[in-house]
Amino acid sequence: MENIYKLIFEPLYDFDEICLEISELLGENIDIVRKKVWRESLLLGANVLESAIKFGIDFHIYNEKMERFYQETDAFIYETMVESCRFGKRLVMEKIKERIDNYMNLNLKEQSKLNILMFGDGVGSDTIYLSSFYKDKANFYYFDVPGSKTFDFAQKRFKKYNVEAKIITDYNKIPKNFFDVIVSLEVLEHLPDPVKAIKDISEFLKIGGIALITESFGAVQFNFPTHLRSNQKFEGKTPFLFLKFNLVLTYFNQDFFLMFKPMEFTKKEKILIKDYLNLILTKPILKAYLKGVFKRCLRGKI
């Protein structure tokens, strides 16, 4: 109960701290920043929505215009800075820390360090949070859209908070069979080929390594214009998609209001029939899968 109390009533930053940091690192007028942060506090995605309308992107469709949007907008800075302070996101990060602790207790030898890939960490809030616990126990690697305003903002934050994260600017140079832990939160629904990304995540992990994942394939809503309609077909299928690439679901959050956030997948050398059966026979997973099938039927797409 004490932890829950802190998550609700003791935020990471107060309103003024968020505004001052964005204004300082982005070089934006403080009054403009205050309005945008307040708007984001009232409606998740408000700034991305406004920016997307002005930019003229095709909502929920990935194309060259959306690629430029990711590079040129600063709206994701506001969205992710505020999101990192919300109760739900903080609870997810608590669960992720618990799973990393569990992995370390089972696998980490004395004097050795974890290699952790923060895959799509936006403004770097998750890297900053985790490094406060594992600074001497892990090497952090950060990847997001290289050259974007969000990417540049994260570099400034790492410098400000003395976070030693190795910055990856070339996706093709991410090392394979190397990482103990990959953290990727709310990324897959934005990608034009999330299945390829899942395959890559498997290749980046060493055998026995874990991927800690959240996704929102089904949240194709007006205030999330960069969530892709083409990915709705994956709603409810995530554990099965990962299993195709030797990533077995070994944990998922079963809290009602944060079901499956996060999921933990462990890389195995070989998938067995029992791994498929375990998924099918796990009630919440089967329920989520059937819910996805029902929603696809309503849209006329199986």
The CATH number given to whatever domain includes residue 119 is 3.40.50.150
- Residue 220 pLDDT more than 60? yes
* Mean pLDDT, range 207-233, rounded to an integer: 97
Confidence of residue 108 (pLDDT cuts 50, 70, 90): confident
Q: What is the pLDDT of residues 26-51, one digit of tens each?
A: 999 999 999 999 999 999 999 999 99
Q: What's the chain's average pLDDT?
A: 93
CA separation for the pair 92, 97 (Å, rounded): 9
Model pLDDT, residue 300: 76
Residues 46 and 92 in one domain: no
Q: Which domain holds residue 124?
A: 88-298
What b/e sequence results for 242-277 when a residue is b if at least 16 CB atoms lie within 10 Å of its CB, and e otherwise?
A: bbebbbbbebbbeeeebebbbbbbbbbeeeeeebee
3-class secondary-structure state, position 165: strand
The whole-angstrom distance between residue 247's C-alpha and the CA centroid of its chain comes to 17
- Residue 100 pLDDT more than 60? yes
Residues 226 and 168 in one domain: yes
Residues 286 and 151 in one domain: yes
Residues 95 and 77 in one domain: no
Residues 146 and 227 in one domain: yes
Residues 72 and 102 in one domain: no
- pTM above threshold 0.75: yes
Domains of the chain: total: 2
Residues 66 and 193 in one domain: no
Return the minimum-mean-pLDDT range out of 100-104, 241-245, 298-302: 298-302
